[in-house]
Amino acid sequence: MLKITLLDGYVDEPTCLGVPPYISPYPRYIAGAIWSFNKNIQITYVTIDQIRNNNKLLEDLAKSDIVIVIAGMSVPGRYLSGYPVSPNEITIILERVPNILKILTGPSARHGFGMSGGKKTRFVENVFDLIIKGDGETVLFDFLKNKQDINEVNPDKTRENAETIRDFAIKGSNIVTQHPNHPNYLIAEIETYRGCPRSIVGGCSFCSEPSKGLPDYRPIRDIIDEIQALYQNGVRHFRLGNQPCIFSYMAKDAGKTEFPRPNPEALEKLFKGIRTVAPELKTLHIDNANPGTIARYPTECKKIAKTIVNYHTPGDIAAMGVESTDPVVIKENNLKAQPDEIMSAIKLLNQVGSRRGDNGMPHLLPGLNFVFGLKGETKDTFKLNYEFLKNILDENLLLRRINLRQVIPIPGTKMYEMGTKITNKNKSEFKRFKRKIREEIQRPMLQKILPMGTILKQAYTEKHDGKLTFARQIGTYPLLVGIPGVFELEEFMDVKIVDYGYRSITAIPFPLDINKAQRETIEAIPGLGKKRTIRILANRPFRNKNQLRSALDDPEIIDDILEHITF
Ligand code: SF4
């Protein structure tokens, strides 16, 4: 029987994430297409990180008949664990398995491999026998039907419509059980539709989404059934992230207007249905939102935001593509919203979503994505963007995330012709701007969102860096938590915030047993420093408050310390 390996080199697109802990729809749909053709075909799913960490997996890969590589980063991201495969890396890996058929699919097949912001993408052609620029699952189904003859398939073929992937999505859901993060730390990225309504006016200059045409909505039932199948396969974390704007799902009049009227009833049905089939889910988050839509239809969007808050889990972010607040850049690049519209969308989301949820995070806050290196950008652009953000801070509005990135000129977009000319010209301005935003906006914003002493529930420990452990809650764009001390990895713990970085926080385990805590952790308790920590370590164990008080040089600080510890 045929043996196929799915090598997940990870995808990161404007409307889809597949870098761990996320698994994108790509491998799931492809597995579903293969098993729809023949359920006995043996599929091995392996991530690029598993290959990086275990050479023996290359020997297993060599025993496959076919390897299908899924890869492509078309927006630059920051990753904690898991990094998308590079063109050089995939070439070296595949050269070591010469005798199997090699297929490439995903954004890298369509647009080339993105390396980082401000750089053009790179195509890798020589190592692959078949490069699928169309839809992987559709082309691969044809390929299997045609007795695996690569000359008999059209690699550019795309799905007829969203309904045709229903069975693939359901049948392929079992592949998640092979993901190394399964089941506890795995988020399934869910597609609700693809294509952008703004494609009728050409779309934003840098974005590849308009090339997918007008929105093709997946039926509500199909999405719910897919989530049910994933849930039955152990997935407990979901993000409705694979669409340009969740508020525009099933919007009416797409094709007639670039901002179709949102459909609150459809969103209510969708979210309610998800909760019915996945009653014990632990995460239900969203991703992209178009501020132009929210500003134009405040009544409908308020209803939708309320629905989201009603059914989702807290810590959610509506990531809005702002790109720039400079009117010249907005015009030159056909961007979706003016500054006053962006502001009204921010206000609406704050009104509905800023309440704190039971995991310690506010329910639903806006995130803003900025893109630099666009046509028309000047020094004034940086100034205007700064003033816009400062205004948000001064008005006491909350932003959960500010994402500053440089454009990747993608073939087929208007920005491709422009290349990296403006990015290169404004390189040092961009660096200065980033620093300024970190110091003057992001840090104070974090302090507002998560006041000192806030308890964050269920942070998952992922990585050590010297005597520091990094953890994150599961969810959309999770906040990085640095925990002083070396803690067991791959475990959940509640933590209490004690300090702030620019885009991260420092926290200590909560509750913290002072008699067992590590030196670095005790030192991080507000009010204690090196010297007091040494006194505490020298006088442990303590049975009660009085014993601890007598070990301190200043007994007055005892109550502050007691807020963080137990005996
Ligand atoms: S609104 Fe602009 S950035 Fe968003 S999907 Fe459409 S073209 Fe892309």
Indicate whether 282 and 422 sit together in one domain.
Answer: yes
Q: Which atom of ligand 1 is nearest to the CA of 288?
A: 4
For residues 487-494, average pLDDT: 96
Pair of tokens at residue 551: 């070990």
For residues 539-545, average pLDDT: 91
Indicate whether 550 and 445 sit together in one domain.
Answer: no
pLDDT digits (tens, 9 = 90+) for 180-239: 999 999 999 999 999 999 999 999 999 988 888 999 999 999 999 999 999 999 999 999
- 347 or 83, which is more confident? 347
Q: Exposed, middle or buried: residue 559 (CB in 10 Å: 0-12, 13-18, 19+)?
A: exposed
Indicate whether 288 and 364 sit together in one domain.
Answer: yes
Instruction: Tell me which residues have their CB closer than 6 angstroms to ligand 1.
Output: 196, 198, 203-204, 207, 209-210, 244, 290, 321, 336
pLDDT exceeds 80 at position 348? yes
Rounded CA-CA distance 431/165 in Å is 43
Which residues are registered as beta bridge partners of 151?
A: none
pLDDT digits (tens, 9 = 90+) for 70-123: 998 766 666 777 889 988 999 999 999 999 999 999 988 988 776 655 566 677
Q: Which pLDDT score, from 0 to 100, does residue 76 have?
A: 60
Q: Does 315 fall in a domain? A: yes
For residues 435-458, average pLDDT: 96
For residues 136-161, average pLDDT: 95
- 154 or 1, which is more confident? 154
pLDDT exceeds 80 at position 444? yes
Can you tell me which residue has the tokens 């073939």? 411
Q: Which atom of ligand 1 is nearest to the CA of 203?
A: 7
Give the confidence band of 560 by pLDDT, cuts at 50, 70, 90.
confident
Q: Exposed, middle or buried: residue 3 (CB in 10 Å: 0-12, 13-18, 19+)?
A: middle
Indicate whether 222 and 318 sit together in one domain.
Answer: yes
Q: Which pLDDT score, from 0 to 100, does residue 555 have?
A: 79
Q: Does 41 fall in a domain? A: yes
3-state secondary structure of 518: coil
Indicate whether 301 and 197 sit together in one domain.
Answer: yes
Q: Does 531 fall in a domain? A: yes
Can you tell me which residue has the tokens 């691969």? 140
Indicate whether 501 and 429 sit together in one domain.
Answer: no
- The helix (run of H) or strand (run of E) holding residue 419 is none
Contact 20, 181 (CB under 8 A): yes
Ligand 1 atom 7, closest CA: 203
CATH code at position 41: 3.40.50.2300
pLDDT exceeds 90 at position 155? yes
Give the confidence band of 408 by pLDDT, cuts at 50, 70, 90.
confident
For residues 516-537, average pLDDT: 93
Omega prior to 444 cis, within 30 of 0: no
Rounded CA-CA distance 305/303 in Å is 6
Contact 406, 117 (CB under 8 A): yes
Can you tell me which residue has the tokens 């075909």? 41
Give the percent of the chain with pLDDT over 70: 98
Instruction: Give the least confident one: 165-169, 359-363, 556-560.
Output: 556-560
Q: Does 168 fall in a domain? A: no
Indicate whether 436 and 559 sit together in one domain.
Answer: no
Contact 559, 544 (CB under 8 A): no
Domain edge (last residue) among 419, 449, 479: 449
CATH code at position 202: 3.80.30.20
Instruction: Give the least confident one: 328-337, 360-369, 547-556.
Output: 547-556
Model confidence, pTM: 0.94
Instruction: Give the least confident one: 123-137, 173-187, 393-407.
Output: 123-137
Residues 6+ apart with CB under 8 A from 250: 193, 217, 220, 263, 266, 267
Can you tell me which residue has the tokens 């592949």? 175
CATH code at position 505: 2.40.50.140
Indicate whether 308 and 417 sit together in one domain.
Answer: yes
Contact 469, 485 (CB under 8 A): yes
Indicate whether 129 and 81 sit together in one domain.
Answer: yes
For residues 250-255, average pLDDT: 92
Contact 407, 118 (CB under 8 A): yes
Candidates 274, 187, 182, 178; CA nearest to 226 is: 274
For residues 454-476, average pLDDT: 96
Give the confidence band of 428 by pLDDT, cuts at 50, 70, 90.
very high
Measured in Å, residue 220 CA sits from the centre of ligand 1 at: 23
The domain in which residue 63 lies consists of: 3-162
Q: How many domains does the chain have?
A: 3
Rounded CA-CA distance 524/454 in Å is 15
Q: Which pLDDT score, from 0 to 100, does residue 423 have?
A: 92
Contact 152, 45 (CB under 8 A): no
Q: Using alpha carbons only, give the angle 318, 324, 327 rounded to the nearest 5 degrees.
A: 130
Which residues are registered as beta bridge partners of 5?
A: 44, 67
Mutate to test the pocket of ligand 1, among 336, 338, 414, 415 (most ligand atoms within 8 A of CB): 336
Domain edge (last residue) among 131, 162, 193: 162
| Summary mean pLDDT of the chain | 94
Q: Which pLDDT score, from 0 to 100, does residue 331 have?
A: 97
DSSP 415: H
- 554 or 302, which is more confident? 302
Pair of tokens at residue 498: 């004690």
Q: Does 309 fall in a domain? A: yes
Indicate whether 501 and 548 sit together in one domain.
Answer: yes
Q: Does 60 fall in a domain? A: yes
Domain edge (last residue) among 392, 417, 449: 449
Mutate to test the pocket of ligand 1, among 192, 199, 290, 410 (most ligand atoms within 8 A of CB): 290
Q: Identity (one letter) of the amino acid at 41?
A: I
Measured in Å, residue 209 CA sits from the centre of ligand 1 at: 6
Q: Does 179 fall in a domain? A: no
Alpha carbon 92 to chain centroid, angstroms:
28
Indicate whether 82 and 147 sit together in one domain.
Answer: yes
Q: Which pLDDT score, from 0 to 100, does residue 439 have?
A: 95
For residues 48-55, average pLDDT: 94
Mutate to test the pocket of ligand 1, among 75, 205, 209 (most ligand atoms within 8 A of CB): 209
Candidates 372, 371, 351; CA nearest to 363 is: 351
Q: Does 10 fall in a domain? A: yes
Indicate whether 70 and 115 sit together in one domain.
Answer: yes
Candidates 296, 394, 373; CA nearest to 338 is: 296
Pair of tokens at residue 233: 């396969």
Give the percent of the chain with pLDDT over 90: 84
For residues 23-49, average pLDDT: 97
Rounded CA-CA distance 359/476 in Å is 14
